[in-house]
Homo-oligomer: A and B are copies of this chain.
Amino acid sequence: MQDPDLLMDYCVADVSRTPSFFFNGELCIDTSLVISNHFFTSSLSKPGMTGNIFGSNTTTTTTKNLPGSNAQGLTMARIDLAPGGIVPLHSHPRGAEVVILIKGTQVMVGFVETKENKLYVQQLRPGDVFVFPKGLDHFLLNLDGATSATAIAGLSSQNPGEQVVPWATFQSMPNIPDEVLEKTFKVSAQDIKRIRKNLGG
């Protein structure tokens, strides 16, 4: 998917307003009020909190913390993995992703394509780059049980979205009816109940 293109040099998102209306885009500030700081953020400068059930944290630029990125068709993300931590299977409906390992020893990355469900897997060392094709399920796993890891990613949309497979399947709001999950995964109602419990809800 490709974000709609620019009709002007930039359209700095207006983060101050409480919107009274919505549309497929973001309101922008008057260009005469634009300053350099609108194109700047330090929100990726600190490690994210990885003390959660997956042991990972992803911090992204958004039109809120980087208003100048509005309508520019890209996002940057910082991925922190605790020792043994995982960014679980997920997809970005609206963007491809290219990731570089900055810190760590060995991170496994992989994705699955749609025609034959082929899995592509690779191990990254610092400085290594991997690309996750647009819209496909992928994951990152820190194989090192003692050292944390950090990666930087570029994504090809200002709002790529993130459909996290365990959340979407087992922790939707409301829950997907059991019958659908039983028939989808060939599991039992007790399996579903147990998985939901383990996932925290």
Contact = CB atoms under 8 A, between A and B. Distances in A.
A112 B113 CA distance: 20
A94 to B, nearest CB: 6
Given A36-B122, A108-B177, A129-B42, A117 B23 contact: no
B37 A27 contact: no
Q: Contact size class for A?
A: 35 or more
Nearest to A4: B4
Q: Which of A8, A185, A195 has the most CB of B within 10 A?
A: A8
A169 B163 contact: no
Interface in A90-129: 91, 93-94, 96-98, 100, 102, 108, 110-122, 124-129
Nearest to A141: B180
